[in-house]
Structure 1
Amino acid sequence: MFRSVFSGVALLAVAAACTAQAQTVTTPEQLLTEFSRCDAHFFESLRDARLPAGTVRLSDYGSVKAPTIMSPLQEGGTYQHFETPLIVNGVQMVGYYNQAETIKNAGNFLFWGFVADGSPQEVAAKLKPLIVDNARFVGQGKAITRAEIRRVGDPIGQWRTEGLTGPGVVTPFGFVDRVLMVDTGGTTPPLAGHTTVFCSLQGTVTAPLLQVYRPDLNARLFD
């Protein structure tokens, strides 16, 4: 009982800290910086963001805002096309996607981010100056990534930069990978022919972690 009460207080403290640190976003470049943290800052900052008209359409999700989609779990309902591209440091962002799924023997997966025009290398080079902790934003194969890992039970705000899982390797049970990645959009519409600029949480993604890092989602999404 005492453990659960303490955990709840700790979660509230972390969430409050994120809220206090969120900056008012007045430019697409500021928005990208907040997004690149791959945590609640992005959704907190969107509450009062002032972005160019006709670009990102926002909806209220509890106490935060997020780009409007139908459902992260619904095929065909995970993408928003921007009527007018959002220009970020010379990169044309043409849409936003937000996807969640559970894969047997691999864990829970969350992907959220922007869809851009240009090659991954071009996009990454233009965005890198805006990215938090960009010294670790480096090439891995054809993608450019910044990765962290945590063990379930670690302090909720703690991420490790050593002992990373690595690309193409399933996150071990009891761990969560967090990755910022710029990569090709694959061959399936609506991402085909574009570059994706996304954050991911994958592995043993728990309700407490979702509560703090993805306040736009139901924390019991994977129950």
Structure 2
Amino acid sequence: MERGKKLEEMFALQNRLNDDTNGPKWREGVTKQGKVINWKRCIVMETAELIDSFSWKHWKNIEGGIDLENIRIEMVDIWHFVMSYVLRFKDPKAAAKLALATWKESAVRLPQRWSEADNGRIEELLSPFEDLMALALVKSEDPLYMEELLEQFWECVDAVGMDFDQLYRLYIGKNALNQFRQQHGYKEGYYKKLWNGREDNAVLQEILATDPDITYEKLLDRLEDLYATVE
């Protein structure tokens, strides 16, 4: 499947998830319970979680290092919210077209293996993500702003060393899990996040590692089968 079609699929899935989770007024900025939605604040907070995957604190973990696997997961979480923000103003096809046109490479690339020398580069390595956070704090809904936000997101994806297909596979997986959670009482508080001692995210990663080409519907079926065994 070409990149444009994959983007259309992701935006369509996110659109459906938002409809199912938040109700018909989510584009107006409220859930079906009347709670205010702020997608850009979500981007800020998820980016802060990503930054905490770096050993940036000078007062501890002085050897440094990064949790690259978690950074990639956080990028997928951020993508949910970037897409949701764009979908407030555009239908899935138009949103996909814009996202395709704004792809941008990064001048920064995270090391796949951390070395002592990388400790001195921490500000440089964090810069794409802090730039994304700063953009998300800007109170603007100008179309050019939306393009800039997407461009900065793609820079972050490239900085992490993810290719587009990796982002697509992880997004499809995480979207399926989010949809599954909603169908099994996540908002109501009775969903079981621990599946026989393992977090559902870890179970999802194992499924994707075993069958990286699994379809969205088959993934939902597989989650259903495994959840049925949870005590």
- Classify the TM-score, shorter chain: under 0.3
Greater RCO between the two (CA within 8 Å, min separation 6)?
2
Point out the structure with the larger strand share.
1
Q: TM-score, with normalisation over the residues of structure 1?
A: 0.27
Larger radius of gyration: 2
Q: TM-score, with normalisation over the residues of structure 2?
A: 0.26
Point out the structure with the larger helix share.
2
